Structure 1
Amino acid sequence: MDGNGRWAKARGMPRVAGHRAGAKAVRRCIEAAIDQGVEWLTLFAFSSENWRRPEGEVMELTGLLRQYLRSEVADLTKNGVRFRVIGDRERFSPDLRAELEAAESKTAAGTRLNLTLALSYGGRSEIVAAARAMAEAAQSGAIDIRDLDEEGFARFLSTAAMPDPDLLIRTSGERRLSNFLLWQCAYAELVFMDVLWPDFDAAHLAAALAEFSRRERRYGARVT
């Protein structure tokens, strides 16, 4: 979800205004995903690199996250949305971690849409953490390292309970993955859109899904 800062700058507004507009786009995207029958939606909300932003902006972002949880969890529950978080949540304050856990607990029964928020997340660090956990399991005798395969390694990732993405949408005209779900997106279809995230709406999601439906997915196999 990229382009909040540029959206605000183009309107002569502070960056936080772009982040607030981006939060509204999150709601539109969730509603559109439900309407389109999407069952899994993962939003890259805060990367591990975002901690390097100015302290004031980080505080604004975490404040918006806290506000979002307090204002949206009831609607998520009502609409059958299950909320979960991936990433290094330990970097957040104890009270915010508690609110994240409460949101996960309150929405755990949701079956209409699985909504995952990637927070303090980085694909490379996730792979390193999985490798470390795998090594520890092998050392303890819980697994035989000689039997390990790709499926077995994936069980150590934070997305172990999730399917790999079929479609990755990148907004604001950027053409890169930016350390997002690097292992999981090995076979994802990529759609790059010029729209800034605060302007993203149901029509944009529908267009991305339509583009996805036209793709021929071969997974390396030759089609005759």
Structure 2
Amino acid sequence: MVEKVDKALVLKQLESITTSNDFKCSARTKGLLSHLVFLELEGRGDELHGTALAMDVFGRGADFDPTTDPVVRTEAVKLRKALSHYYLSKGKNDPLIISVPKGQYRPLFEAKVENASLPDSSSSHDKGWPVLGIGIFTGSDTTRAKWFREGFPEELGLELTRFAHVRVLTGFPDRSSVWNNENLKPNCDYFLHGSVRDTCDKLHLIVQLQRKRDGSILWADRRDINPDATDSF
């Protein structure tokens, strides 16, 4: 955690992220990142939990109920997505990675280790690696269903970027209006999409992996999700 990296380097990296045009998020999402980093650097990382963040960052009162107000979870999803986009673009060669692992709000600071044997990321597009497109999920328009429909593909895309031999393209809703499922498909070898239906007591998730060449479904699964779980993803 903090002890493994220089604090001045963390603060410099935080400034690089929050002032970059490639860190695409709102001012309050940037404020959330700064708050997480500052408290972690001060040795107060154990204070970073949902209720405290709702009150300290988002102005909620002592009666805050995370089961009816998902503001912290929603902003955390947006933050992880924005960080992922930043490190896949402007920040791909930065010396330090700041991340907020799913299931927690304490940030993680990781200094990059140079390794000459690893292929340069800038040339990875020429290696013939398969391209997986993660589309925008459809489904119910309830608040919690829309939150999960946006958050699940984002979390999945973030996880898959950790694998070296697959390229991941996404159709996240805050991109250009033409960046949607139909425009995403022609650029992919495989396409993952699905739907989320709100059944009142749970969310019903369906996911399908499709081969673009012939349209065949290679894999599919369905799950019932408890949207009130601490980490429903």
TM-score by length of 2: 0.27
Which is strand-richer, 1 or 2?
2
Higher helix share: 1
TM-score w.r.t. structure 1 length? 0.28
